[in-house]
Amino acid sequence: MESIARDVRLLICDDHAVVRVGVRGMLAKHPGFAVVGEATDGEEAVGLARRLSPDVVLMDLRMPKMDGVQAIREIRQHDSEVQILVLTQSDTDGDILRAIEEGAAGYLLKDDPEWYFHEAIQAVAAKEAYMTPRATRRLLDRHGPNSTQALTLREVQMLRLIGHGMTNEEIALELSISQSTVKSGLQRTFDKLGVADRTNALIVALKRGIIELEP
């Protein structure tokens, strides 16, 4: 018997009130989301994450008292299950990569279209990595053109579907295969690309021309 779906519990962390109000307003238009708290600095973000145990944390990287990367590290050390989505205007790619290395599951720019926010939160809540095409472009030049083992057609197909933001379940339905086949296929693909997760697989595949972003 399937369990009844519950709202995704969110913690919004940003030192600008207008951003917090804007995000809360966007999410209020759609069912399935519940904002359980708001933090105005990195230290408060860590404390609220521990006390409230949200499903997803929306984390600004530029925060007073403690920056977003440090806050991500401390939150993930305390609770490895919480999913963190970076929300920033920063053009500093190094900070974004550091955030991903510390366990962030995805990355959004604050002026990305509204529907990206809903899609991204749903994806990371399901423990899937998420990046918009524009966010991915910001990171491509950070990865050099290393050699790659040959990928099968099916592996390339799965990478393209990751680029469309699809979950493992959605990929399985699209390709008419089982979720376990998707999981094992993606792991082989990660091994061939020399990466550990979907986010970096997408970055490397784009950089090496294995797949292309849609216009």
Kindly report the average pLDDT of the chain as a whole number.
81
Residue of higher predicted confidence among 40 and 153? 40
CATH topology of domain 143-207: Arc Repressor Mutant, subunit A (1.10.10)
pLDDT band at residue 147 using 50, 70 and 90 as cut-offs? very low
DSSP state letter for 215? -
pLDDT of residue 50 exceeding 90, the answer is yes
Residue of higher predicted confidence among 70 and 111? 70
pTM score, whole prediction: 0.65
The residue extents of the domains of the chain are 8-140, 143-207
pLDDT band at residue 2 using 50, 70 and 90 as cut-offs? very low
Q: Do domains 8-140 and 143-207 have the same CATH topology?
A: no
pLDDT band at residue 37 using 50, 70 and 90 as cut-offs? very high
Q: In what helix (H) or strand (E) does residue 122 lie, and over which residues does it extend?
A: helix 114-125
Q: Look at domain 8-140 and name its CATH class.
A: alpha beta
The whole-number pLDDT of residue 14 equals 93
167-191: average pLDDT: 87
Digit-coded pLDDT (tens) for 53-65: 999 999 998 888 9
Q: What's the half-sphere exposure (Cβ side, CA atoms, 13 Å) at 8?
A: 27
HEC string for 21-79: HHHHHHHHCCCCEEEEEEECCHHHHHHHHHHHCCCEEEECCCCCCCCHHHHHHHHHHHC
Assess contact for 166 and 159: CB atoms under 8 A: no
Lowest mean pLDDT, pick from 8-22, 158-172, 176-190, 198-212? 198-212
The whole-number pLDDT of residue 90 equals 61
Kind of pairing between the strands at 8-13 and 33-39: parallel
The whole-number pLDDT of residue 15 equals 92
Structure token pair of residue 1: 């018997």
pLDDT of residue 49 exceeding 70, the answer is yes
